[in-house]
Chains A and B, each alone.
Chain A
Amino acid sequence: MTSGIALQILQSVLVVLAAPLVAGWVNICRAWLQNRSAPSLLLPYYTLARLFHKDAVVANTASPLFRLMPYVLFGCMWLAAGIVPVLATDLPFAPAADIIALVGVFAVARVFSALAAMDTGTAFGGLGARREMMVGFLAEPAMLMTLFTAAFISGSTQLPTIVETLAHREFAIHPSLAFAAVAFLMVLLAENARIPVDNPATHLELTMIHEAMVLEYSARHLALIEWAAAIKLVAYMAIGFALFLPWGIAPAGDWGALPIAFAALALKLAAAGAGLAVLEALLAKMRIFLVVEFLSTAFLLGVLGMLIHFLVT
C-alpha cells in the first residue's frame, strides 16, 4: 500500500511536471515540419515562469468565480494525471474514478472554463464558452462509445484492469479496437483544442474556441490554464496508450519493470507528439460547423467498433 502511494505520487508529479515538455516537443516537431528553426524544448517552462512572475490583471467586472477557475482546472487535471495508469497499474487512487468518472472530471473542467469565460461579460468570452460547450456535447458521446468498446473487451471500466487485461492477460487482436482508436484520436483532437477543430497557436481569430475563453486571463491564472491544458493533452495521450498501446506499463507490485515502463512511456509520448505535429502540419482548421460532422463520424466509428465487438464475440 505504501509503495502504491509512493508510486501514485511519483506518477502524478511526473505527469504534471513533464506535461510542458510534451507541449514543447510538439512545437519543435511542428517547427521542423514547417521549415522553421525550432524553439527550445524548454520554452513552455520559460513561458510558465515568466507568466507566474507577472502581476495578474483581473477585469473589474469579474466575480470570484473568474479567479477560482484556473485552480479548479489545475486540480481536475492533477486528479486525471493521478488516475490514468501511465507508469504502473498499482494506483491506490485509481478506484476513485473509472473511465466514466474521468470523462466527468474533464466535464467539470469544461463547465468551469465556460462559466469563467462568461463571467466578465465580454463578447469573446461568451462566444468561446458557447463553442466549447458545443464541442463538449458532441465529443462526450463519442468518447463514451470508444471507452465502452474497451470496457466490454476487458469487462471493466477501471483503467488499471483494462491495462492488465489488454497488456498482460490476453494476446488477442481486437478489430473493434481499431475503430475505437480512430474515434478516440478524433475526440482527442477536439477535446484538446487542436487542429482541425481549434488552433492552439491562434490569438484573436473569429474562429477560435479555447483561446476565446481564456482571453481575459493573464499572468499566474493564464500560466495555470496553459499548464492544465498541457496536462490534459498528456492525460488524453495516456488514456490512448492505456486502451490501445498498453504494452510496457508495469503490472502491480513489480518495481523492476518501472525503468522499462519509463522508457516505453518516453518513447510513446515522443511518437505521439510527433504524430500530432504531423497531423497539424497536414490538416487545415475546419469551419466551426464541420466539427459537427467530424465528431459525428467519431461517434459512428465508436458505435461501429462496439457492434463489431458484439459480432465477433
Chain B
Amino acid sequence: MESPSLLAATLGAAAAWLVISLLGLLPAPAAFVRRALFPAGAIAALVLAGAGAAAAWQPPASLVLPLGLPDLPFHLRIDPLAGFFLLLLGAVSAGVSAYCVGYFNGEDGARLRLICLQYHVFLASMAMVILADDAYLFMVAWETMALASYFLVTTDHQRPAIRSAGFLYLLMAHLGAIALLLCFGVMHSGGGDYTFDALRAANLTPPWASVAFLLALVGFGAKAGLLPLHAWLPEAHPAAPSPVSALMSGVMIKTAIYGMVRVSYDLIGAVRWEWGMLMLVVGAATALFGILYALMQNDLKRLLAYSSVENIGIILMGLGMSMVFFGFGQREAGTLGLIAALYHALNHAVFKGLLFLGAGSILHATGLRDLNAMGGLIRRMPAVALYFLVGTLAISALPPLNGFASEWLMFQTALQSPLLDHGVVRSLLPLFAATLALSGALTAMCFVKVYGVAFLGQPRAPAAAGHGSADASLAERVGLAWLACGCIVLGLFPAAVLFTLNQVARSLTGSTLSGAALESSWLWLVPTRPEQASYGPVIFLLVVLAVVAVTIRLVLLYHGRVRVADPWDCGFPEQGTRMQETAEAFAQPIRHVFGPLYLMRRHLPGPDDPHPQYAMRIEDRHWHWLYLPVARLTAYVSAKVGLLQRGRISVYLLYSFLTLIALLVFVR
C-alpha cells in the first residue's frame, strides 16, 4: 500500500476507537461492552499495527484535516518513525484489548462503560500524538492522553490513596506540558506557524537549540518518569486497572520517547554530543535508581512500575550514546545507538505489557498484589506462570529473548567508542555500558525474586493457597500469549527489526548502518561487520534445545526412575511456609550493598518486648529533598499571594486601577 492510504488506514483505526468509546456511552449490558466493544478495539489495533509496520518502509505522507479551530487545521503526517511507534501502540494494545474481555468479567455495567469510553479515548489520543504534524494538534492529543489516563488511574477513586496518586499524576503531567509548550515556543522562534515543517525550517542558534532540547527533556521526561521527575509513576501506574497499567507502562511512556526523538532528531535537527552526555548521565541514574527501588518493592504492580522507570533509563542511555556519536560525526555508530534505543522501546512495551497483564491475572484470581502473600501459584495458574516466565526471562535480558537483543545492540554501540575524537568521552562510554550491565544483572535478580516468591515455593497466605485452579480465562490467555509470542519473535528475529529501524533512522537522520550489516541474512544480527560482532539467536536456541532434548532422551533410555518425597528438612521437622524466602529477604544483599542510597526506617523490638514486631519502610529520598520542599514553597507563596484577596470590592477596583496605570506607563 502507498503511504497516503496507510495514513488513511491509521486514521480509520483511530476513528474506530473514538466510535467505540462513544458506543460505550450507550446503556448496553456489560457483556456487550466486554464481548463486542473490546474485541472491536483489538481489531482496530491490529489494523493500526499493520499500517504502522508498512509505513516504516514507505516515504512520508501528510494530510490536513479541517478540524480544530478556524484557520488552525490539524496537520497529520505518517513517516517511518511514526509508523514504528504506531506499530508499537497497535501491537501491544491488541493484546491488552483482547485481555480486557476476560479481565473485566464480573465488572459492574456502568463502571465498565465508563472504562470503555476512557480506555478507547486514551488509545485514540496516543495514536494522534504520534500522527500529529503540528504543535497545536500534538498538544491537544497530548493533553487528551493525560486526561484520559488520569480518569483511568482514578477508576477506584473511592480510595483516598488512589485519589492522591491521580492528583500527583495530573500535576506532573501539567508541569511537563508547560515545558513542552515553552519548547515549541522556543523552536518556533517568532516566525511562521506551528506546523512541524515550519519548526524544522526554523534556524535556531546553538544556545536556543540547547534550551529547546532541555525543555523537551523536562517535558517528555516528566511523562516518561525520568529521574527526578519519576515520583508519580510508581504511584499512578499501579493504581489503574491492570490492563490500563500495561498500556501506561508499556505504551504511554513510549510516546514520550517518541516525542524526544521527534524533537531532537527531526525538529531541532543537528544533535550535539553534550546533549548525549547529559542523557547518558540522566539515563544511567534513572536506570540504576529504578531497578534498585524495584528490588525493594513487595507490591507486584509497584515493582513493575519502578522497573519501567529503569527501562526508560536504558532507552535514554541508548539515545544518549546515539547523540554522542552523531555529535562527533560518527553517523553509522549514531544510527546503531538510535536503533538500539528504539528497539528497546518496542521490547519494553511488549514484555512490560505482558508482565502487567500477568500481575492482573494474579490480582483477578486471588485478589493479591503483595508478593509476601503469594507463593506456589505455578500449580494453580500454570498458563499464567508460563507466560510470566517468558516475560521474566525477557526483561532480565536473557538470550534468546527480546530484551537481550536490544541490550546487546547497546553494548555494541558502546564498543564503537574508539571512533570518537574526545578522549574523556571515549573512555566514559564503556563505563556507561558497565552501568547497563549492572542494571541488567540487577533486573535479573529482581525478577528472580518476583517469579520465585510469587509462582514458586509454597503459598504464604490462604488467598494464594485456595482450592482448585485459578488460571486465567481464555480471553486473558489470548492477550498474554500474544505478548509472550511477541517477546519470542522479537528475540529470535532481531535482524527484521534492525532492517525496519534502519529505514526509520534513514528517514530521520539521513544515515544508515554499514553495508555489511544490511547484507547479512535474517538469521544473524550484525551491527557493523560480521567479523566484528554477530549474534544468531535462532542457532543459539536450536543448539540448547537439541542438547536438552537429546539429553532427556538418553537419560530416559537409561532409566527414568523417580521417587517423590518430602523436601529435605535439614533434620528439623517443623518446616513451615513462613521459613521460605520472602520478598524482603531476597533483596537483603541489595540493602546491604546499596544501603546509603535508600532512606530506610527500621523498627526493631526491644529485648523484653512481649510482642516483638519487626518493620521496615523504604522511602524515596527525592520526596524529602525535592518534592516536599517544592510543595512547601508553593504553599508558602500561595499563602502570600492570598493576602491580596481581601474580599472587598473597593480593594479589587484599586488593583484594577493600579494595573491600568502600570500598563499605560509601560505599553505605548
**Most chain-A CB neighbours within 10 Å: which of B435, B551, B590?**
B551
In the assembly, what is the distance between CA of A71 and CA of B458, in Å?
Answer: 24
Binding site of B, secondary structure by majority: helix, strand, loop or mixed?
Answer: helix
B201 adjacent to chain A (CB < 8 Å): no
- How many residues of chain A are within 8 Å of chain B by beta carbon? 78
- Given contact pairs A130-B589, A137-B442, A71 touches B579 in the complex (Cβ within 8 A): no
B356 adjacent to chain A (CB < 8 Å): no
A280 adjacent to chain B (CB < 8 Å): no
Interface string of B134-147 (1 = CB under 8 A from A): 00000000000000
**B456 and A104 within 8 A (CB):** no
Residues of A within 8 A of B540 (CB): 79, 96-97, 101, 105
- How many residues of chain B are within 8 Å of chain A by beta carbon? 82
In the assembly, what is the distance between CA of A136 and CA of B437, in Å?
Answer: 11
Interface residues of B in 530-573 (CB under 8 A from A): 530-537, 539-540, 543-548, 551-552, 555, 558-559, 561-570
In the assembly, what is the distance between CA of A113 and CA of B555, in Å?
Answer: 20
A284 adjacent to chain B (CB < 8 Å): no
- Given contact pairs A78-B543, A126-B581, A144-B434, A220 touches B555 in the complex (Cβ within 8 A): yes
Find B568's partner among A122, A126, A155, A303 (CB 8 Å cutoff): A122
In the assembly, what is the distance between CA of A28 and CA of B535, in Å?
Answer: 39
Binding site of A, secondary structure by majority: helix, strand, loop or mixed?
Answer: helix
In the assembly, what is the distance between CA of A289 and CA of B561, in Å?
Answer: 41
**B458 and A100 within 8 A (CB):** no
- Given contact pairs A74-B547, A101-B540, A156 touches B437 in the complex (Cβ within 8 A): no
Say how far B380's CB is from chain A's closest CB, in angstroms: 11
**A127 and B581 within 8 A (CB):** yes
B186 adjacent to chain A (CB < 8 Å): no
Find B586's partner among A58, A126, A151 (CB 8 Å cutoff): A126
The residue of chain B having its C-beta at the shortest distance from the C-beta of A313 within the complex is B418
A245 adjacent to chain B (CB < 8 Å): no
Find B543's partner among A82, A114, A127 (CB 8 Å cutoff): A82
Q: How many A-B residue pairs have CB under 8 A?
A: 249
In the assembly, what is the distance between CA of A292 and CA of B592, in Å?
Answer: 10
The residue of chain A having its C-beta at the shortest distance from the C-beta of B427 within the complex is A310
In the assembly, what is the distance between CA of A155 and CA of B445, in Å?
Answer: 31
Which of B3-11, B45-53, B371-379 touches A?
B371-379
Residues of B within 8 A of A57 (CB): 562-565
Interface residues of B in 494-549 (CB under 8 A from A): 524, 530-537, 539-540, 543-548
Find A161's partner among B532, B575, B581 (CB 8 Å cutoff): B532
Say how far B412's CB is from chain A's closest CB, in angstroms: 7
**A136 and B444 within 8 A (CB):** yes
In the assembly, what is the distance between CA of A224 and CA of B555, in Å?
Answer: 10
**B565 and A118 within 8 A (CB):** no
Residues of B within 8 A of A292 (CB): 592-593
Find A96's partner among B440, B536, B581 (CB 8 Å cutoff): B536
Interface residues of A in 155-191 (CB under 8 A from B): 155-158, 161
In the assembly, what is the distance between CA of A129 and CA of B447, in Å?
Answer: 12
Residues of A within 8 A of B545 (CB): 75
Interface string of A223-236 (1 = CB under 8 A from B): 01000000000000
A32 adjacent to chain B (CB < 8 Å): no
Say how far B602's CB is from chain A's closest CB, in angstroms: 18
**A158 and B396 within 8 A (CB):** no
A107 adjacent to chain B (CB < 8 Å): yes
**A60 and B565 within 8 A (CB):** yes
In the assembly, what is the distance between CA of A138 and CA of B593, in Å?
Answer: 10
Say how far A209's CB is from chain B's closest CB, in angstroms: 11
Residues of B within 8 A of A220 (CB): 555
Could you write out 23 A-B pairs with CB less than 8 Å apart? A59-B567, A61-B458, A95-B534, A96-B534, A96-B540, A97-B535, A98-B533, A101-B404, A107-B397, A108-B399, A114-B448, A115-B448, A120-B457, A127-B581, A136-B444, A141-B441, A144-B434, A145-B434, A155-B418, A157-B532, A157-B533, A310-B418, A310-B423
Q: Residues of B at under 8 Å CB distance from A?
A: 375-376, 378-379, 389, 393, 396-399, 404, 408, 411-412, 415, 418, 423, 426-427, 430-431, 433-435, 437-438, 440-442, 444-445, 448, 451-453, 456-458, 524, 530-537, 539-540, 543-548, 551-552, 555, 558-559, 561-570, 575, 577, 579-581, 585-586, 588-590, 592-593
Counting from the closest, the 3 A-B pairs by CB-CB distance are A126-B581, A118-B452, A121-B457
Q: Residues of A at under 8 Å CB distance from B?
A: 52-53, 55-63, 65, 71-72, 74-76, 78-79, 82, 93, 95-98, 100-101, 104-105, 107-108, 110-111, 114-115, 118-127, 129-131, 133-134, 136-138, 140-141, 144-145, 148, 151-152, 155-158, 161, 204, 215-216, 220, 224, 289, 292, 299, 303, 306-307, 310, 313
